[in-house]
Amino acid sequence: MSPSWSWAVGVCLFRLFCGLCSAGGRIVSYDFNVSYITASPLGKPQQVIAINNKFPGPTINLTTNNVAVINVHNKLDEGLLLHWSGVQQRRSSWQDGVLGTNCAIPPRWNWTYQFQVKDQIGSFFYFPSTNFQKAAGGYGGFIINNRPIIPIPFPTPDGDIVILIGDWYTRNHTDLRKSLNGGKALGIPDGVLINGKGPYQYNTTLVPQGIEHEIITVHPGKTYRVRVHNVGISTSLNFRIQNHSLLLIESEGSYTVQQNYTNFDIHVGQSYSFLVTMDQNASSDYYIVASARQVNESLWKNVTGVGILHYTNSKGKASGPLPAAPDELYDRFFSMNQARSIRWNLTASGARPNPQGSFRYGSINVTEVYVLKSTPSVMINGKKRTTLNGISYVNPSTPIRLADQYKLKGIYKLDFPTRPHSGPPKMATSVINGTYKGFMEIVLQNNNTKMQSYHMSGYAFFVVGMGEGEWTENSRSTYNKWDGIARSTVQVYPGAWTAILISLDNVGVWNLRTENLDSWYLGQETYIRIVNPETTNKTELPIPDNALLCGQLEYLQKNESQSISSATSVGGGRLSLVVLTLLMMFYALAENLDL
C-alpha cells in the first residue's frame, strides 16, 4: 500500500496570511482495513489480525511535523483502538488510542486518527490496545524521519529495514483472554515470530517442516539502518545477527552514543535502531535470531525466532548452531550493564536543530515522587488480578479524558497513592494527579519474579537509574544526571528497580502501564492526568469533531452509518479543510509562543 501524499491547502493559505507557520505540515494519509485473516505462522492455522490483508501491517513512514491522517476501518467482531506507541501526541491525548482517552471503534465502524508528529524523530510501532488483540497481531512499524535540514548523527544508510520480533501463541486471542479471565496463566509461548513469520528450520527436532520464515536480502558492503521492535506479549528477547555487529544509534526517538554490540536485549514494547554493515564474505546466509531472555532458556528452547540475512552474492544456506546468547540465567550483571550503557548523545540534534543535551534534566528539581510497586498477581473479589501499589486499575465505561471534557463526576479518582501501601489490594479507577510543568520522579519497583517493562504515553522520560533490591532515598546517589537516555519504554528487572524522570509539559490524560500484555490486561496500569490550571486553549487541542462517545455519553453519539454511506454527513465528523486549517493554526501559534 502506498500512502497518498497531498499538501495541506489550508496550511498554505494560512502561510500566505501570516508567514509564521513551521515547515513540514504535510498531510500523509493512510487507509487501514483491520480484519481477521487465517495464517499459520507456526504451522498451525489460526485467526490473526491483519491490516489491508497484511500481517504485520504496513509501515507508517513520516517526517517530523507531518500530519498523519489514518482512517481505520474496524472489520473485526469487537471494539478496536490503535495505539501509536512512543508517538507523543503533543497536546492531543485525544488521538492516543487507549481506553482512558478514546472510546473503542465499534465493529463495522471507521474512525480517522489525525495528529501531527510534532518535534519528533525515531522508530516506533503501532498496535491494537484493547481486548488482548495484540496477541493476534494488528501491529506495524512507525517511522518518523528527520527533516532534511537537520543532519542525522551518522552517514545516510543505504537502506531501512523494519524487524518486528515477538513471542507468539498458536491459541487465538479470545482463547488467551478466556484463560486470563479464568485466572489461568498463559504458560510458555509457542514460539517467536520475526515479521509475522515462524523460525527457519535450523534444527529439525525443534522446528517442523513447512514453516515460512523471514528472509532479508541485502547487498554486500552496504550499511542498513535496522529498526527492531519487540511487539510481543510478555517475553524479553535477545536479538542478534550471526557474524554482524549491531551499532546502536537510536532508541525510541533519541539518538544514542554509538556503540557496537554482538547481541542486544529488547524487552516488550521497546524499539531500537542499529546500523548493520554487510561486511562478511557471504560464504553462506546468516541467522537473524530473537530468543527468550531472563527465563530458563533450556525450557524455552522453542521460544526462539530465526530469520535469514541473505546477501545477493550468498554462496549457500545458513547451517549449524545459532550464534550463542549471553549465558547468565541467574546473573543479570551483563543485561543490566548493557541497559546502563545506552546513553544519550548530548551533541547530536534530535528533531530540532539544537543538541539533545541542551535540555539539562539533571539540574531540574523534582516536584513530585511516585514509587510504584508491582507484586505477583493477587486475588481480589475472587478474581486473579495484577496491581500497582495495591490498586488494580479498572477502565471506566466513559474514558477519563471525555469525562473531563463533559464535566462528568465520579468516573475516576485522583487519588493514586504515591507509595506502595500495605492495605488489602483493591479494584479502582485511581489516577495520578500530575502537576502541569512539574518534574516527576517515578521509581518502578518490581517485586515479582518476572521481567517487566513499563511505558508512558505522551512523553519521553529520562532513564536515570536501575539497581538490584529495594530502592531507597540513597539510591539517588547512583542516578545518571548527565546522559540518561530519553525514551518511552523501560525494563525493570525482577527484584530490582528502575527510576525515571518526566517533565510534565504535555497536557492530557496519559497511560502509564506495564507492557507485559497479560499483566496489563489484569489491571497493572494507571493514567497521569495533566491539566493546565490557566484557562487557555493553547496547551491542548480541542476535542476532535469526530470523537466517539460511549459510556455515560453514549446518548450523544450520532449514528455512524450515515458517515459510512455519505461523505457529507457531519455525524461521523469527516475530515474537513476547516478543521485541518485550525489544527495547523494551532500548532503554528503554539510553536511561535514556544509552548
3-state helix vs strand vs coil in the chain, percent to 5? 15, 35, 50
Q: Is residue 291 at the binding interface for ligand NAG, with CB under 6 A as the rule?
A: no
Q: Is residue 160 at the binding interface for ligand NAG, with CB under 6 A as the rule?
A: yes
Q: State which of residues 86, 287, 546, 549 lies at the interface with ligand NAG (CB under 6 A).
A: 546
Per rule CB under 6 A, count of chain residues that contact ligand NAG: 57
| CA 324 – CA 327 distance, rounded (Å) | 8
Q: Which residues of 90-129 are buried (b: 16+ CB within 10 A; e: fewer)?
A: bbbbbbbbbbbbbbbbbeebbbbbbbbbbbbbbbbbbbbb
Q: State which of residues 123, 291, 457, 563 lies at the interface with ligand NAG (CB under 6 A).
A: 563
Q: Is residue 302 at the binding interface for ligand NAG, with CB under 6 A as the rule?
A: yes
Residue recorded with cell 541497559? 339
Q: Which stretch binds ligand NAG (CB under 6 A): 85-93, 170-178, 286-294, 324-332?
A: 170-178
Give the shortest CB-165-to-ligand NAG separation in angstroms: 17
Q: Is residue 447 at the binding interface for ligand NAG, with CB under 6 A as the rule?
A: yes
Contacts of 251 (CB under 8 A, 6+ apart): 122, 270, 271, 272, 273, 342, 485, 487
| CA 395 – CA 401 distance, rounded (Å) | 12
Q: Is residue 1 at the binding interface for ligand NAG, with CB under 6 A as the rule?
A: yes
Q: Is residue 112 at the binding interface for ligand NAG, with CB under 6 A as the rule?
A: yes
| CA 422 – CA 173 distance, rounded (Å) | 34
Q: Is residue 247 at the binding interface for ligand NAG, with CB under 6 A as the rule?
A: yes
Q: Is residue 58 at the binding interface for ligand NAG, with CB under 6 A as the rule?
A: no
Q: Which is nearer to ligand NAG, 273 or 489 (CB)?
A: 273
Give the shortest CB-402-to-ligand NAG separation in angstroms: 16
Number of C-beta neighbours around residue 454 at 10 A: 29
Q: Which is nearer to ligand NAG, 212 or 279 (CB)?
A: 279
Contacts of 197 (CB under 8 A, 6+ apart): 41, 211, 212, 213, 214, 307
Q: Which is nearer to ligand NAG, 310 or 574 (CB)?
A: 574
Q: Is residue 310 at the binding interface for ligand NAG, with CB under 6 A as the rule?
A: no
| DSSP codes joined into one string, 145-198 | EPPTTS--SSPPPSEEEEEEEEEE-SS-HHHHHHHHHTT----S-SEEEETTBB
Q: Is residue 205 at the binding interface for ligand NAG, with CB under 6 A as the rule?
A: yes
Q: State which of residues 217, 313, 337, 347 lies at the interface with ligand NAG (CB under 6 A).
A: 347
Given a contact cutoff of 8 angstroms between Cβ atoms, the answer to whether 139 and 585 are in contact is no
SS (H, E, C) 333-390: HHHHHHHHCCEECCCCECCCCCEHHHCCHHHCCCCEEEEEEECCCEEECCEEECCECC
Q: Which stretch binds ligand NAG (CB under 6 A): 105-113, 323-331, 460-468, 506-514?
A: 105-113
Q: Which stretch binds ligand NAG (CB under 6 A): 201-209, 229-237, 262-270, 285-293?
A: 201-209
Given a contact cutoff of 8 angstroms between Cβ atoms, the answer to whether 504 and 440 are in contact is yes
Q: Is residue 595 at the binding interface for ligand NAG, with CB under 6 A as the rule?
A: no
Give the shortest CB-541-to-ligand NAG separation in angstroms: 8
Q: Which stretch binds ligand NAG (CB under 6 A): 13-21, 205-213, 264-272, 550-558?
A: 205-213
Q: Is residue 574 at the binding interface for ligand NAG, with CB under 6 A as the rule?
A: yes
Q: Which residues bind ligand NAG (CB under 6 A)?
A: 1, 31, 33, 47, 52, 59, 61, 71, 110-112, 143, 145, 153, 160, 162, 172, 174-175, 203, 205-206, 208, 245, 247, 257-258, 260, 277, 279, 301-302, 321, 345, 347-348, 364-365, 414, 433, 435, 447, 449, 470, 494-495, 537, 542, 546, 563-564, 567, 572-574, 582, 586
